[in-house]
Chain A
Amino acid sequence: MDFLRRYLASPPAVIGLVLLALVLAMAASADLLFPRDPLGLAGRPLQWPLANPRFWLGTDNMGRDIAAQVFHGARISLLIALVSTALAIVIGVVVGAVAGFYGGIVDDVLMRVTEAFQILPNFLLLLVLVAVFGSTLTTVTIAIGIVSWPASARLTRAEFLSLRNRDFVAACRGLGMGDARLIFAEILPNALPPVIVYAGVIMAVAILLESALAFLSLSDPNVPSWGNLIGAGRSVLRTQWYVSAIPGVAILVTVLAVSLVGQGLNDALNPRLRRR
């Protein structure tokens, strides 16, 4: 309760929560409000927003309803962001936990690999992965997860380094507990909070990565994605700039919501750091 009160006391965090609820509502109501295929032909192409009451956000250059694509796009963006963030956290936590728990040569090797991933520009690595494995929804999601894990590995490792010599770990060892149980059932729950809070940052970046990929039409072309729509609107940018402008606002709002909520959680969990 104390945590909730602290969270709600911060205006940016509340704004973030409201915006996130808005995006979630868009994703949830997409099928209800726009039951037809959002990528199907809906009407005359390039109708301005509000010009036709049937398409209140207008139609794009292929005659598709922009509002329908924005609503359905919320689903795809959130789906990709959630799954790839979960993947990044799982990989990062396992690598960081093993490295921090065992130390020594295991730590050295795993941290070198983590460094390798940090040195490679993550968008370039994403391009390589997409070039090799193709760009379907599944491969793009996994690829984003693969390029995003190093930070959570470093966080988990740091936590494990400080936790592994505590008394409770020694006590568990005295009870004859195996390494796997010690790592995942005893130490990990204590190490997890900062990692979970950091998930907000990973998720915000994941949404931006996916939209950039889709903008370059290197993401799955068969799903309604905000980035795809912005890319499609590029060819009519000179006159019908709204085709690219509208989905961009959707991305901005979603990334803003995710980062504000992440920041709010962080502040509420670490009240001492609040003033910064």
Chain B
Amino acid sequence: MRILGLALRRLAASLPTLLIILVGLFLLLQLAPGDTVDALVAQIGGGDPAMIDELRRFYGLDASAAVQLGNYLWRLVRLDLGFSAIYGKPVATVIIERLPATLLLMSSSLALAFAAGMALGIVAAQRVNRWPDTLISTLGLIFYATPSFWFGLMGIVIFSIHLGWLPPGGFEEIGAGHAGLRRAVDIFWHLLLPTLTLALIFLATYLRIMRAAMLEVMTLDFVRTARAKGLAPTAITVRHVMRNALLPMITLVGLQAGTILGGSVVVESVFALPGLGRLAYESVVQRDLNTLLGIVFVSAVLVIVVNFLVDLAYARLDPRVGAG
């Protein structure tokens, strides 16, 4: 209970930050040339000034900036993200349609990067400064320096075009009418390459942190004690060192939640996935600022939620957090 309270307090502390983001974005939008009505009018191919004024009044755009800001925040509180002139439906609906693909991509890449980074980090730490360590660290650096979209494209060239093993893009086979397990398998094959692409960028960071944390913990007194009382090396690594070395890894998940969302914009564009990231790209191209703002809002909330979960996990792994 105490842990939950602590995490909830941290959650409450992020509300002012969210407010800063929203006000900042609203002011930024005021600088943008053209508003919703301009986009609408452009969409329907022009209109007379009287109708444009009428529309402005209808959307509340004739009020002062302060009143508009108030309205905007009040609408957000009610989870009303406005209307997308381009898609012809509420922004919230558009976003909810696109959210599952992104969440699936994000969580699977995160899981992959976390697991692989942990495993490789452990191996590197145990053979520190010998060839497995050097090899793993070098590979990690190269992955880190590779632009994700390029990695994705080369993956398509090799695995889809030359070898023909994987589909080159899309979320599932359109019109195949798969259901249940077959559909899940189909989606799995489609998401394999995008997940790998997105995970590889973060793998390097996770593996580096894991390696450093392992090396750090291995020098502590309690590990020497464990060794002295005759525990097997594997037991020491798994039960004593790893558990403590996981703490900085968990912190990293919270820190990188935003970066993964940003990375999914590019990866979803490469693989033509119907997710939030590609929606963000499309709304920039189509100048649909309402949708873009909605996505940024949802992303910020998503990052805050991930950090909330990280706080909970942290307290579970390290009892001292809850007790302190």
Contact = CB atoms under 8 A, between A and B. Distances in A.
Contact of A244 (B18, B150, B269): B150
B258 A118 contact: yes
Q: Which of B31, B145, B295 has the most CB of A within 10 A?
A: B145
Contact of A230 (B17, B149, B215, B258): B149
Interface in A130-155: 130-133
Nearest to B267: A212
B289 interface: yes
Contact of B147 (A112, A208, A218): A208
Contacts of B17: 112, 115-116, 119
Interface stretch (B89-97, B245-253, B297-305): B297-305
A23 interface: no
A99 to B, nearest CB: 15
Interface stretch (A31-39, A54-62, A172-180, A247-255): A247-255
B145 A127 contact: no
Interface of A is mostly: helix
Contacts of B28: 128-129, 132
Interface of B is mostly: helix
B321 interface: no
B296 A120 contact: yes
Contacts of A113: 20
A144 to B, nearest CB: 13
A81 interface: no
Nearest to A217: B285
Contacts of B16: 112
Contacts of B18: 116, 119
Size band of the A side of the interface? 35 or more
Contacts of B287: 131
A120 B300 contact: yes
A127 B280 contact: yes
A127 B276 CA distance: 13
A132 to B, nearest CB: 4
B284 A212 contact: no
A13 to B, nearest CB: 12
Given A230-B149, A244-B153, A216 B296 contact: no
B153 A230 contact: yes
15 contacts: A112-B17, A120-B299, A121-B299, A124-B296, A127-B292, A128-B284, A131-B292, A204-B145, A237-B157, A244-B150, A245-B150, A248-B154, A251-B146, A251-B150, A276-B215
Q: Give the 3 A-B CB pairs with smallest separation, nearest first.
A: A123-B262, A248-B150, A255-B145
